[in-house]
Amino acid sequence: MGRKQTYSVEGKLRAVELYLSGEMGGYRRVAEKFNVDPSQIVRWVRAYKQEGIDGLKEERGLVGRKPKNPSDQEKIKRLEAEVAYLKNILRLVV
């Protein structure tokens, strides 16, 4: 099996922000620009919405599921990411 491509957090963030801005249209157009599969953009956007920039950090090699009862810090990070996401949406609408 070949080696998998890795992407920097900054590159992932640029792709996510481009998608969220709506400038490029959908996942497919953003994926074409970054030369990745559209499903990869979907995963990055989902991770960013759930965990903010920490969700874009490389976590290969970790086995098992995340705990079902996240710690307070994890809840705070997730909520902060949601607030940032919603602020982005509001900027686009207003």
Is the full-model pTM beyond 0.75? no
CB-based contacts of 5, cutoff 8 Å, min separation 6: none
Q: What angle do CA 51, 57, 59 make, to 5 degrees?
A: 100
* Contact of 76 with 83, CB cutoff 8 Å: no
| Amino acid 28: pLDDT | 95
Of 11-15, 27-31, 36-40, 86-90, which gets the smallest average pLDDT? 86-90
pLDDT digits (tens, 9 = 90+) for 59-69: 655 555 555 67
